[in-house]
């Protein structure tokens, strides 16, 4: 059952309206559109918004980068929703780095290089179609090589401005040049409801429908809409829960006894976490000087 | 639980007048900073022997701190006892105006900072002008650095009077003027002891005092159509018209009209997800301004992205190709006469040119310049835009949302503006009739797509034109015959054949008046053609010496139906864009296959 009290959640309606508007603009403007789905709470809210915008359909592929170090429950959850919601699921990876063990857990590089190998590079080559993509075949119930190798020209991502410094400089529609670089000093103007939906050949655009949402908004919306989330976000009795999900070797849970969505909302509102960065459990951030700027410029999400 | 109201605010003003300082102070005084952050920056300044600045606090980016200025519209979150705020920090350097506009257009309220010591500067005025153009009405003017002028009421009053006069000239009435010292915190979050003569609110108090602007539900219903969805997966047969309501309300049973075409029908359902039968809440009784909605129609209309949905019982929008506007230009390359641009208004996107620059205004001084030829970067101008297709819109004074547009140059949003007046164009007399025709049209139960599927073709008008003595009739008839033998649904019509029946009342034998009636003759021809096309046919017609003006009349009547022009003869003596050209030496067979290829190319018939 929905727990919507209209006046109380007017701000969620407002955020939802803008996000849906942006998703629809993106769908109308880009022939090759894809949406990144990290399995985390933000991109799952985004997926839910897409189902709202298109009335139960998600008319573009979801792209997931498998680092092979994701917590197992995340992958199970991904494939369950893929089946239940009839999603077009595309998975990419850096097979070479994994095979050659050029990873931090294997002890062969630092965290930043590992992120660059398993995430940034995998993402870049999956998006531009130069590395193999695996697509879920709903009839056979398994992944198979995707025949579509066209580059995605529009990429929807669930970044929020309040997450960390560099993301707060984003636009809803943010162009990237050929080498996926982000020119932070010279971004297009964006006013009223007009976004950068015209783009030169060879460039692509990142689309950020959740830019105005806060961590609290995300949880309030998960509660209002009853959106399924992985259990890793909740304390299972050990006084710990994950606040931000990533690869297990670089992600640590926070001290928290919140077992339910309601308790998380209460915890966020109480201010207990207000002086702790949301991604404080993500070790690579610290290694990048706190801003993630280096990784972000290269195309990290 | 308390309501979680949220307000976006923007802070603007001339560079170095203290925007970052005021923001930093607001954060510090509302306890919104991460623990130890302020001290960390103070320590850093001490270590590097730099005086502490609140600006450092806001510069989250490494290289930005190296530059020492805030370079982009950043967001800062804080809350008062009343609501949550998002500050969109806008920088003051002139080359960053586009960031300021980006920030300001998302804001519901603005703080405009003026240095008490320096007084009103160029960008104090320019930013005030932009706020007015962007439609922000909740404005507080902060007269900052009062500590540098000994908290003098006289200085405060002088600036207030000077700036107030400027603002009233551009129709902007600030809600309040506040004397502050960002650096020392006077009147930012707490009343300052040094300004006993000031009885008004603090900055925080003024913000809390602003009411959130409500989308006006009493204005006529307007919804730019974003798309028409027909997702057939999972056996879904709904055809959902989607968009975000700009103003007004919509409910089931309302008669809607889509502009610029004027096609109309009744709302059948308001769609939601999850649908009520799938465990979602009940569908709303009424959808209101601001909502991203979807609805189905009682009858199938050919609607596309770019149409403007309105209600039949309310004031209709304006429809024209010529707009008198006020616009601002942001791109380095000036906006120049004759060059082709794209104009986006709502979801419509059409080609447009600057027809005339009526007056160029220096935004910072409001001085108008004489006989301008181009609109330069950061200029504001009044001008006439001429679009190559009709647009539906409102005047900005009547409906802000549907009265503003952006101009695209070279893939970039390069300017924006508001519509002041809808001007007549050469097609107005035709279009007015077409609008009424469409609103009054009694619709068949068969949709356009169904006919297309049934006949395996899209309807289209193929006009074969050329000099009087060319082979146009021969070619057209051969083409009709070929289509017919291929099983196509087609008809040949010579434009002259209408003269004695359809045109009997306007037809006279005197050549003078024939010329006079030429336009009406063409309009009637196009109306007849419209019937054939509506029935799903490929109509092959001939007309001697068709020119662009003639074609425009035909296009206005036929609206979204495709029109192909074939020129028979060697040297085209027309300004009409030609889709296929048949030379004098070419055989009829060759001519037929070339026209056919053109139809295939346009997707009207399939290959094979
Ligand atoms: N004395 C004094 N200096 C101020 C005050 N507010 C800002 N400043 C100084 O004015 C300079 C410009 O301020 P800043 O906030 O960076 O301006 P911005 O460019 O508008 O963001 C800085 O050196 C500030 O320390 C104030 O109230 N009093």
- pLDDT (average), residues B473-495: 95
How distant is the Cα of A43 from the closest Cα of chain B, in angstroms?
18
**d(Cα B374, Cα B372) in Å, to the nearest integer?**
6
Q: How far apart are CA B211 and CA B538, in angstroms?
A: 58
Measure CA A260 to chain center.
Answer: 22
Q: What is the mean pLDDT of residues B371-386?
A: 88
Picking from A194, A269, A278 by the largest number of B CB atoms within 10 A of its own CB, the best residue to mutate is A194
Closest approach of A104 to chain B, Cα-based (Å): 26
Q: Is the pLDDT of residue A281 over 80?
A: no
Residues of chain A in contact with residue B34, where contact means CB-CB under 8 angstroms, are 274-275, 277
- Of B239, B236, B241, B272, which Cα lies nearest the Cα of B254? B241
* In the predicted structure, residue B203 carries a pLDDT above the cut 70: yes
State how far residue B107 is from chain A, nearest Cα, in angstroms: 10
Across the interface, whether the CB atoms of A8 and B3 are under 8 A apart is answered yes
Distances, alpha carbon B566 to alpha carbons A122, B430, B496, B533, in Å: 52, 24, 18, 18
Share of chain A above pLDDT 90, in %: 49
- From chain B residues 277-306, the ones with a CB under 8 A of any chain A CB are 278, 280-281, 290-292, 294, 305
**pLDDT value of position B71:** 33
CA B157 / ligand 1 centre spacing (Å): 21
Reported as a pLDDT band with limits 50, 70 and 90, residue A6 is low
Identify whether the C-beta of residue B246 lies closer than 8 Å to the C-beta of residue B396.
Answer: no
Contact B60 A171 (CB under 8 A): no
Report residue A230 as tokens.
């992985």
β-pair partners for A159:
none
Contacts of B47 (CB under 8 A, 6+ apart): none
Q: Whose CA is nearest to atom 25 of ligand 1?
A: B53
Per DSSP, the residues of B180-194 read -BTTTTBTTTB--TT
pLDDT at A274 over 70: no
Alpha-carbon distance B484 to B302, whole Å?
Answer: 26
Task: Tell me whether residues A291 and B227 touch, CB distance under 8 A.
Answer: no
- Predicted confidence band of residue B314 (pLDDT cuts 50, 70, 90): very high
Ligand 1: centre distance to CA B183 (Å): 7
Record: contact B344-A166, CB cut-off 8 A: no
pLDDT of residue B185: 93
User: What does each C-alpha distance from A267 to A70, A217, A228, A282, B317 come to in angstroms?
Assistant: 26, 13, 20, 20, 50
Which residues of B fall within a CB distance of 8 Å from A193? 244
pLDDT exceeds cutoff 90 at A56? yes
Strand (E) or helix (H) holding B26: helix B19-29
CA dist B473 → B260, B463, B579 (Å): 34, 10, 17
With beta carbons under 8 A apart, name residues in chain A contacting B60. 164-166, 168, 291
Half-sphere exposure of B286 (CA within 13 A, CB side): 9
Cα–ligand 1 centroid distance for B79 (angstroms): 23
Residue B480 is predicted with a pLDDT of 97
Lowest model confidence (mean pLDDT) among B191-200, B566-575, B576-585: B566-575
Q: How far apart are CA A167 and CA B52, in angstroms?
A: 25
* Section B313-340 average pLDDT: 93
Is B102 touching A (CB cutoff 8 A)?
A: yes
Please state, in angstroms and rounded to a whole number, the distance separating the CA atoms of residues B533 and B455. 12
- Look up residue B516 and give its two tokens: 């006079």
Q: Above 60 in pLDDT, residue B374?
A: yes
pLDDT at B94: 47
Would you say residue B72 has pLDDT above 70?
A: no
| Residue B260, preceding peptide bond in cis (omega within 30° of 0) | yes
Tokens of residue B199, six digits: 């009885």
| d(CA B148, ligand 1 centre) in Å | 11
Q: What is the pLDDT of residue A42?
A: 95
Between B31 and A255, the more confident residue is A255
Q: In the prediction, which pLDDT does A164 show?
A: 55
pLDDT band at residue A300 using 50, 70 and 90 as cut-offs: low
The predicted model gives B528-535 an average pLDDT of 96
| Chain centre to alpha carbon of residue B38 | 43
CA-nearest residue for atom 7, ligand 1, is B18
Which pLDDT does position B210 carry in this prediction?
94
Which residues are B89's β-sheet partners?
B11, B74
B55 three-state secondary structure: helix
d(CA A226, CA A249): 30
φ/ψ (deg, to 5) at B330: -115, -20
Q: Are A185 and B71 in contact (CB under 8 A)?
A: yes
Stated as kind and residue range, the H or E segment containing B512 is helix B511-534
In the block, which residue shows the tokens 């290694």? A287
Q: Tell me, what's the pLDDT at A244?
A: 84
Tell me which of B177 and B517 has the higher pLDDT: B177
Give the pLDDT of residue B67. Answer: 36
CA-closest candidate to residue A21, choices B86, B75, B224, B256:
B224
Considering only the beta carbons, identify the residue of B99, B231, B411 that sits closest to A54.
B231
pLDDT of residue A288: 61
Give the closest residue (by CA) to ligand 1 atom 26.
B145
From B42, B182, B188, the mutation candidate for ligand 1 (largest count of ligand atoms within 8 A of CB) is B182
Retrieve residue A47's tokens.
């997926």
Out of B11, B14, B16, B121, give the residue to mutate to test ligand 1, the one with the largest number of ligand atoms within 8 Å of its CB. B16
Instruction: Say how many Å lie between the CA of residue A25 and the centre of ligand 1.
Output: 40
Residues in B touching A29 (Cβ below 8 Å): none
**d(CA A86, ligand 1 centre) in Å:** 55
**Beta carbons within 8 Å of B100's beta carbon, 6+ residues apart:** B10, B12, B73, B90, B91, B92, B127, B130
Closest alpha carbon within chain A to B416: A191
Q: Give the helix ranges, DSSP H, for B59-198.
A: 62-67, 97-105, 122-134, 153-169
CB contact under 8 A, B99 and A187: yes
| pLDDT for residue A1 | 38
> How much is the mean pLDDT over chain B?
88
d(CA B162, CA B124): 12
Q: Does the beta carbon of B208 sit less than 6 angstroms from any atom of ligand 1?
A: no
Contact assessment for residue B355 and residue B278, using Cβ atoms and an 8 Å cutoff: no
d(CA B508, CA B512): 9
pLDDT in tens, B497-526: 998 889 888 876 555 555 668 889 999 999
Contact B54, B20 (CB under 8 A): yes
CA of B241 to the centre of ligand 1 (A): 51
CA nearest neighbour of B457 among B478, B493, B477, B484 = B484
Check if the beta carbon of residue B58 is closer than 8 Å to that of residue B70. Answer: yes
Given an 8 Å threshold on Cβ–Cβ distance, is B233 in contact with A200? no
Task: Rank A3-7, A154-158, A244-248 by mean pLDDT and report only the highest.
Answer: A154-158
**Nearest residue (CA) to ligand 1, atom 9:** B18
Is a pLDDT exceeding 70 seen at residue B169? yes
Give the residue from chain B lying closest to A291, CA to CA: B61
The segment with the largest mean pLDDT, out of A210-219, B29-38, B92-101, B304-313, is B304-313
The minimum-distance atom of ligand 1 relative to the CA of B55 is: 16
Q: Which of B:254-273 have CB within 8 Å of A?
A: 271, 273
On whether the CB atoms of residues B245 and B289 are closer than 8 A, the answer is yes
Contacts of B4 in chain A (CB under 8 A): 8-9, 11, 220
At B240, the pLDDT band (50, 70, 90 cuts) reads very high
User: Is residue B119 pLDDT above 90, yes or no?
Assistant: yes
Across A76-85, B64-73, B385-394, B522-531, least confident range: B64-73
Which one is predicted more confidently, B512 or A66? A66
Kindly state the percentage of chain B with pLDDT values over 70.
91
| Residues on chain A touching B410 (C-beta within 8 angstroms) | 200
pLDDT, one tens digit per residue, over B245-279 is: 999 999 999 999 999 999 999 999 999 999 998 88
Whose C-alpha lies nearest to ligand 1, atom 13? B18
The closest-lying atom of ligand 1 relative to the alpha carbon of residue B23 is 15
Residue B306 pLDDT > 50: yes
CA neighbor of A192 nearest in space, from B330, B416, B97: B416
Mean pLDDT of B296-315: 94
User: Distance between CA atoms of B356 and B374, rounded to whole angstroms?
Assistant: 9
CB–CB contacts below 8 A, A to B: 151
Q: How confident is the model at residue B143 (pLDDT cuts 50, 70, 90)?
A: very high
CA B421, distance to chain mean position in Å, is: 15
- Residue A115's H or E segment, with its range, is helix A111-115
| CB contact (8 A) between residue B413 and residue A293 | no
The verdict on pTM exceeding 0.90 is: no
Work out which ligand 1 atom sits closest to the CA atom of B21.
15
């Amino acid at each position: 059952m929905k727990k919507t009290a209209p006046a109380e959640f007017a701000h969620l309606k407002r955020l939802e309206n803008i996000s849906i508007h942006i998703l629809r603009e993106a769908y109308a403007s880009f022939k090759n559109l894809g949406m990144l789905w990290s399995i985390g709470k933000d991109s799952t809210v985004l997926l839910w918004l897409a189902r709202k915008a298109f009335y139960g359909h998600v008319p573009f592929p979801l792209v997931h980068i498998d680092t092979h170090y994701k917590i197992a429950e995340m992958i199970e959850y991904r494939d369950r929703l893929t089946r239940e919601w009839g999603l077009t699921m595309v998975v990419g990876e850096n097979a070479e780095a994994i095979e050659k063990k050029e990873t931090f857990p294997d002890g062969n590089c630092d965290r930043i290089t590992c992120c660059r190998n398993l995430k940034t590079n995998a993402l870049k080559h999956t998006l531009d179609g130069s590395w193999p993509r695996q697509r879920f075949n709903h009839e056979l119930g398994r992944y198979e090589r995707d025949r579509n190798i066209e580059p995605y020209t529009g990429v929807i991502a669930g970044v929020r401005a309040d997450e960390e410094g560099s993301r707060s400089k984003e636009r809803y529609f943010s162009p990237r040049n050929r080498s996926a670089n982000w020119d932070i000093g010279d971004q297009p103007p964006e006013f009223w409801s007009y976004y950068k939906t015209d783009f030169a050949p060879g460039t692509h655009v990142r689309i950020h429908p959740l830019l105005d949402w806060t961590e609290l908004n995300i949880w309030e919306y998960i509660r209002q809409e009853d959106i399924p989330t992985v259990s890793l976000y909740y304390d299972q009795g050990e006084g710990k829960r994950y606040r931000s999900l990533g690869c297990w070797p670089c992600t640590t849970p926070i001290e928290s006894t919140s077992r339910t969505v309601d308790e998380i909302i209460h915890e966020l509102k109480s201010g207990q976490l207000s002086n702790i960065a949301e991604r404080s459990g993500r070790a690579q951030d610290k290694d990048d000087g706190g801003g993630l700027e280096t990784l972000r410029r290269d195309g990290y999400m | 639980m308390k309501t979680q109201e949220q307000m976006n605010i923007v802070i603007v003003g001339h560079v170095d007048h203290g925007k970052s300082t005021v923001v930093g102070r607001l954060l510090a005084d509302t306890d919104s900073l991460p623990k130890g952050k302020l001290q960390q920056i103070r320590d850093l300044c001490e270590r590097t022997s730099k005086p502490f600045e609140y600006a450092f606090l806001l510069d989250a980016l490494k290289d930005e701190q190296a530059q020492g200025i805030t370079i982009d519209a950043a967001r800062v979150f804080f809350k008062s006892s009343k609501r949550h705020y998002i500050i969109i920090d806008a920088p003051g350097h002139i080359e960053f105006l586009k960031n300021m506009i980006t920030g300001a257009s998302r804001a519901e309220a603005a703080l405009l900072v003026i240095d008490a010591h320096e007084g009103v500067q160029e960008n104090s005025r320019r930013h005030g002008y932009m706020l007015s153009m962007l439609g922000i009405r909740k404005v507080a003017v902060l007269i900052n650095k009062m500590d540098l002028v000994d908290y003098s009421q006289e200085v405060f009053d002088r600036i207030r009077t000077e700036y107030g006069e400027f603002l009233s000239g551009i129709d902007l009435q600030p809600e309040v003027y506040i004397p502050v010292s960002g650096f020392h915190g006077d009147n930012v979050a707490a009343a300052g002891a040094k300004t006993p003569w000031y009885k008004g609110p603090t900055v925080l108090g003024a913000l809390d005092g602003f009411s959130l602007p409500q989308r006006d539900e009493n204005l006529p219903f307007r919804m730019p159509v974003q798309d028409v969805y027909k997702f057939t997966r999972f056996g879904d047969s709904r055809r959902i018209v989607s968009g975000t309501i700009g103003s007004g309300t919509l409910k089931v049973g309302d008669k809607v009209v889509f502009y610029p075409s004027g096609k109309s029908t009744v709302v059948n359902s308001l769609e939601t997800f999850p649908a009520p039968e799938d465990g979602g809440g009940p569908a709303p009784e009424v959808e209101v301004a601001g909502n991203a909605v979807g609805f189905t129609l009682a009858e199938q209309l050919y609607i596309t992205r770019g149409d403007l949905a309105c209600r039949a019982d309310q004031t209709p929008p304006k429809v024209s190709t010529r707009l008198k506007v006020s616009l601002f230009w942001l791109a380095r390359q000036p906006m120049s006469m004759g060059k082709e641009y794209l104009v986006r208004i709502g979801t419509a996107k059409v080609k447009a040119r600057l027809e005339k620059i009526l007056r160029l205004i220096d935004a910072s001084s409001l001085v108008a310049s004489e006989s301008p030829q181009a609109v330069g970067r950061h200029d504001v101008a009044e001008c006439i835009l001429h679009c190559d297709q009709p647009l539906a819109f409102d005047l900005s004074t009547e409906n802000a949302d549907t009265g503003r547009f952006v101009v695209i140059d070279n893939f970039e949003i390069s300017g924006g503006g508001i519509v002041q007046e809808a001007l007549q164009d050469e097609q107005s007399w035709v279009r007015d009739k077409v609008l009424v025709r469409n609103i009054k049209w009694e619709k068949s139960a068969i949709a356009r797509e169904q006919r297309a599927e049934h006949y395996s073709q899209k309807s289209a008008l193929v006009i074969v034109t050329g000099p009087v003595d060319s082979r146009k009739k021969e070619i057209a008839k051969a083409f009709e015959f070929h289509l017919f033998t291929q099983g196509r649904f087609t008809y040949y019509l010579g434009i002259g054949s209408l003269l004695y029946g359809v045109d009997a009342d306007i037809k006279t034998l005197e050549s003078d008046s024939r010329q006079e009636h030429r336009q009406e003759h063409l309009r009637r021809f196009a109306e007849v053609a419209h019937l054939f096309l509506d029935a799903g046919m490929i109509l092959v017609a001939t007309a001697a010496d068709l020119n662009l003006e003639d074609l425009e009349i035909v296009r206005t009547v036929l609206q979204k139906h495709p029109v192909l022009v074939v020129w028979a003869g060697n040297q085209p003596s027309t300004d009409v864009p030609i889709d296929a050209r048949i030379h004098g030496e070419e055989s009829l067979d060759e001519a037929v296959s070339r026209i056919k290829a053109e139809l295939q190319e346009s997707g009207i018939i399939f290959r094979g």
